[in-house]
Amino acid sequence: MRGNIYLYIAVMAGVTYLIRVLPLTLIRKQIDNRFVQSFLYYVPYATLSAMTFPAILTSTTSVAAATLGFIVAVILAWKDKGLVTVAAFACVTVFIAERFL
């Protein structure tokens, strides 16, 4: 680590808090710009998806086990299981798969 860790934490906490507090304190009217509204609407899906794949495949010791965990997570998420259920079963799948692979 080259930088100062407390400075890093201050930067990330500051930016994150400002993102949350500014709209809540300053914006008292509905945002009208349709493009901005639409862009913000799609942002979480693009960000989370880009972060998840392909990183998920190398998130555990074995790529094969992670692939199985990924498939299990997709199926359970598709069936509208909650965050905890999906995350837990992905972990269990990897744990079991790594015993056998």
Partner 1 sequence: MVETTQSRGAAWRKGVQDGIPIGLGYFAVSFAFGIMAKEAGMTVFQAGLISITNLTSAGQFAAVGLMVSGASYAEMALTQLIINLRYCLMSCALSQKWDPAVPSFHRFLVAHGVTDEIFGVSILKEGHLNPWFNYGLMSAAVPGWVGGTVIGALCGAILPESLTSALGIAIYGMFLAIVIPPAKKERAIAAVVIAAMVCSTVFRLTPVLKGVSSGFQIIIITVLVAGLAAALRPLEKEEGEEA
Binding positions for partner 1, 6-65, rule CB under 8 A: 6-9, 11-13, 15-17, 19-25, 27-28, 30-31, 34-35, 37-56, 59-62
Enter the tokens of residue 80: 């509208």
* Sole binder of partner 1 in the list 63, 64, 84, 100 (CB under 8 A): 84
For residue 96, the minimal CB distance to partner 1 (Å) is 9
The DSSP code sequence of 20-69 is HHHHHHH--S----HHHHHHHHHHHHHHHHHHHTTGGGGSSS-HHHHHHH
Q: How far is the CB of 68 from partner 1 (least distance, A)?
A: 10
101 binding partner 1? (CB under 8 A) = no
Question: Residue 86, Cβ neighbours under 10 Å: how many?
Answer: 19
Kindly state the smallest distance separating residue 32's Cβ from partner 1, in Å.
11
